[in-house]
Amino acid sequence: MTKLSIDEAGWLRSVEVIGSPNFDARPDNTNIKLVVIHGISLPPGEYGGGHIQKFFCNQLDTDAHPYFESIGEMTVSAHCLIERDGNLIQFVSFDDRAWHAGESQWCGETACNNYSIGIELEGCDDESYAAAQYDCLSDLITSLAERYAEIGVDAICGHSDIAPGRKTDPGPAFDWVKLRGLL
């Protein structure tokens, strides 16, 4: 992948953008210091179809699958989605607060959405993520760390780490050793 660069407004240059309405401003004087890795597939265990993109934009057709009825009213997003083939889509500027973490805590500080960047990987807890996703993710994290000085290798975690007991993603199939080797 070509080196990713982030513009002055918090948007990646040269990637697909699908603007999500599910964001707001970060609290004043908030330093971005955490990357949260998520896993998502819609419907669960199925890939492709554009359902994740529609979900993050409040356009999910709840009649398209029985599972969608249970999540159709949710208003969530992430800063980015990395699809199975490594395609990267941005939904929210990194300078804004995406609604990805929910009730959460990291290093004793609550409300992780305030100071984190949420990256969704198309996948599920118990199926290996694709090599292209790890490559894209490592490039993205490297670019984020260059732009936001407080993001270091110790500031990368899973959704399950900041919301234990409530969330399990990216799951045991996510290879943390592989990711750290790429950074």
Domains of the chain: 16-182 (3.40.80.10)
CB-based burial label for 86 (10 Å; 0-12, 13-18, 19+): middle
What per-residue confidence (pLDDT) applies to 135?
A: 97
Residues 6 or more apart in contact with residue 103 via CB below 8 angstroms: 110, 163, 166
Instruction: Say whether 146 is catalytic.
Output: no
Tens of pLDDT, residue by residue over 129-177, are: 999 999 999 999 999 999 999 999 899 999 999 999 999 999 999 999 9
Q: From the candidates 69, 103, 109, 120, give the one annotated as an active-site residue.
A: 120
Residues 53 and 75: their CA atoms lie apart, in Å, by 12
| pLDDT higher than 60, residue 178 | yes
Output the CA angle 82-19-124, nearest 5 degrees. Answer: 30
The rounded percent of the chain whose pLDDT value lies above 90 is 97
Average pLDDT, the chain: 96
Tens of pLDDT, residue by residue over 97-107, are: 999 999 999 99
Tens of pLDDT, residue by residue over 115-137, are: 999 999 999 999 999 999 999 99
